[in-house]
Amino acid sequence: MDDATKVDRNALIIGSLLLALLLVAVTIFIRRGKNKTGSTILLVGPSDGGKTAIFSSLAYNHTPPTHTSLQQNAALFRSPSPFHRKPLQIVDIPGHPRIRGQFSDYFQNGGKTKVTGGGVRAVIFVCDAAALTRNSSSVAEHLHLIMHAISNLPPSKTPPSLLVFANKADLLPTPSAAASGTGAKPRSPNKALAITRTTTILERELEKRRLSSMRSGAAVLGELGDDTGGDGDAMGGLDITDGDAFSFDKWDGGEVSVRSGWVNIHKGSTPSNGTDSEDEGPKEKDKLSTGVSKMDGLADLVDWIATLR
């Protein structure tokens, strides 16, 4: 074997080793990117759903009467889970149609914005279970916007967990009260009815939007303010793994959970920090929530947050 052949063989071996090392480095980098969990939980949903009341209860263990907010709120929340060694960031995104798309800022650059330094770990979509039959189409449109954004995240990013929270379950009648026709306020909120009603209505409305997306392509996505929906996203982020109709458990974009609850509003009280939802500018506080056990109406929500990994 001459010297030229030996040189070619050594060069081939060295090149193969370098290529293998490069592939290993890329694989490790991608896996680290996927396994990195964020520290931000976004509260999204239409106006008047109760997001700000939930935010105040989680962040400050205080729930004063609120009204439609046009500013983001941000605060720290101490999760009861031992897996969450550091406090989580809770961000309340206004539900007004003109500014509800602000949530997408947290999906860019790993969610490292000026509001928080971590990525998005979960998105909680809050809706009014008691009023859902009257505004089901607009609520489903807002949820579609969220699901479309999640499903279009790059493969290198771990998609955030999605929770649909049927709020104001205490305003729904119990079966006994409904049957009696008295209209009396139930002693125990009908959380099961809130989950069933919310799931059925939203799945039905999202199926309508999925079929519309299939027929008209980017038309429905354009309605959501997205111009990127082309042939590669014909269903507008509502793809399903199998079956003929959309359901949350068949959504191809990730896992969707549904919980229900309510917030006890303490009327006539003043927050200890002297702020409310009318203050100018985004609000970011360092105060950690305590007394989670007192939030009976939000117990299922807090439990779901504790399961996040």
Q: How far is it, in rounded angstroms, from Cα 76 to Cα 276? A: 16
Average pLDDT over residues 62-88: 81
CA–CA dist 250, 169 (Å, integer) = 25
Give the ranges where the chain is alpha helix by DSSP (H). 3-35, 51-60, 136-151, 175-180, 191-216, 219-223, 299-306
79 pLDDT higher than 80: yes
Average pLDDT value for the chain = 77
pLDDT in tens, 10-25: 777 777 887 888 887 7
pLDDT higher than 80, residue 153: yes
- Alpha-carbon distance of 230 to 299, in angstroms, equals 41
Whole-angstrom distance, CA of residue 248 vs CA of residue 229: 21
Average pLDDT over every residue of 237-265: 89
pLDDT in the model for residue 293: 47
Q: Which band of pLDDT confidence, cut at 50, 70 and 90, is reported for residue 38? A: confident
The predicted model scores a pTM of 0.74
Residue whose entry in the numeric block shows the structure tokens 């031992």: 82
CA distance 73 to 94: 9
Residue 304, pLDDT above cutoff 70:
yes
DSSP letter (8 states) at residue 186: P
**Six-digit token pair at 126?**
């809050």
Q: How many angstroms separate the Cα of 98 from the Cα of each of 61, 93, 94, 206, 279?
A: 30, 12, 9, 21, 19
User: In 3D, which of 301, 200, 227, 218 has the Cα closest to residue 259?
Assistant: 301
Look at residue 158 in the predicted model and tell me its pLDDT: 84
Question: pLDDT by residue (tens digit) across 56-66?
Answer: 999 888 777 66
Question: Strand, helix or coil at 123?
Answer: strand
